[in-house]
Amino acid sequence: MKLTLGFSPCPNDTFIFDALIHHKIDTEGLEFEVFYDDVETLNQKAFRSELDITKLSFHAFAYVADHYALLDSGSALGFGVGPLLISKHPDTSPAEHASNLRVGIPGKYTTANFLLSLAYPSLQNKIEMRFSEIEDALLKDEIDLGLIIHENRFTYQDKGLHKVIDLGEYWEKETGAAIPLGGIVIKRELPEEVKLKVNRVLQRSVEFAFANPKSGIAYIRSHAQTMDEAVMYQHIELYVNKYSIDLGQEGRKAIETLFEKARSLGVIPEIKEDLFLNHSPFKGLFKL
């Protein structure tokens, strides 16, 4: 059986999916047609139900939970992994003249933008752009603040840019929970045995990656643009961790906390489906 699969070309995703798409593990007869896109493009594809399996931001997941369920493996959660708000000038403060500040964001439905809305609700002049274009837009004074994700966490200082706030740290102080950034979801309409098979195969792929961290180096590098190997593995170490193997109760609780906070602020709609594909500790209880 062939399934469509979307994820980003970033090192954390290619690291996770390498063994699965290159049959380094038992895929139990599954084949995958892969689409590589940035997270906001993947979010939009999920809104249109284009892919059988896809990476998306947890913010976007709230809008498609009636069509997709979250797999146990492949998610990006953790401490110290949040998006950064940066500026060209070290004295730029989002608390001053907020309504006039132009903010480059990597997408309306990214978890990064959700966190920014929590921390600085007065920042309303937002300009959506591809995540990799935000640093250059700052340097050209096209925007006043930039919200960066992915590998840009490791490159902005080299370009003379300055951190205003780490929104991951902000979230951790507010909640004490890990910050959920993105997850892997699967269409609910697929047969149950197929969904469970994908769940098993994906976990097997992540476990293989951890056991053989250099196995996919050529594949990871081929999609990492100009990123050097040290930065590639910094990126992987930051976003791939125990929650990527299995969310567990702690990871699921962090996601529940994010959605409860978002729902209380009217940022996301009511969710009537169980979020998780398998063995949800909140089954029957999690109705936002």
111 among annotated binding-site residues: yes
Question: Catalytic residues, which ones?
Answer: 150
Mean pLDDT of the chain: 89
2 is in an annotated binding site: no
On whether residue 152 sits in a domain, the answer given is yes
Give, for 211, the enclosing helix (H) or strand (E).
Answer: helix 192-211
Which residue range(s) make up the domain with 247?
2-78+180-264
pLDDT in tens, 151-180: 777 789 989 999 999 998 899 998 898 999
Are 96 and 171 found together in one domain?
Answer: yes
280 is in an annotated binding site: no
Read off the pTM.
Answer: 0.83
- Our CA angle for 156, 42, 72, nearest 5°, is 95
Judgement on whether residues 49 and 184 belong to the same structural domain of the protein: yes
Same domain, 129 and 159: yes
- Is 57 known as a binding-site position? yes
Task: For residue 283, give the 3-state DSSP assignment.
Answer: coil
- Asked if residue 272 belongs to a domain, the reply is no
The CA distances from residue 246 to 33, 59, 182, 200, 257, in Å, are 24, 20, 14, 11, 18
Whether residues 101 and 149 fall in one domain: yes
93 assigned to a ligand binding site: no
Examine residue 19 and state whether it is found in any structural domain, yes or no. Answer: yes
One domain for residues 200 and 72: yes
Instruction: Write phi, then psi, for 161 (nearest 5 degrees).
Output: -95, 165
Residue 67, domain member (yes or no): yes
Helical pair 192-211 and 11-21, crossing angle rounded to 10 deg: 110
Query: How many structural domains does the chain have?
Result: 2
- Per-residue pLDDT reduced to its tens digit, 214-253: 999 999 999 987 678 888 888 898 889 999 999 999 999 9
Same domain for 63 and 140?
A: no
**Whether residues 73 and 26 fall in one domain:** yes
Name the pLDDT band for 285 (thresholds 50, 70, 90). very low
In the structure, what pLDDT confidence band is assigned to residue 97 with cuts at 50, 70 and 90? low
**C-alpha to C-alpha distances, 16 to 39, 74, 209, nearest whole angstrom:** 16, 7, 6
Same domain, 63 and 24: yes
pLDDT at 272: 82
Instruction: Indicate whether 96 and 168 sit together in one domain.
Output: yes
Could you tell me the CATH number of the domain that includes residue 113? 3.40.190.10
Tokens representing 92 are 């730029």
- Residue 270 within a domain: no
- Whether 188 and 170 map to the same domain: the answer is no
pLDDT in tens, 194-203: 999 999 999 9
In a domain? residue 193: yes
Q: Do 184 and 46 share a structural domain?
A: yes
**Do residues 209 and 131 both lie within one domain?**
no
281 domain residue, yes or no: no
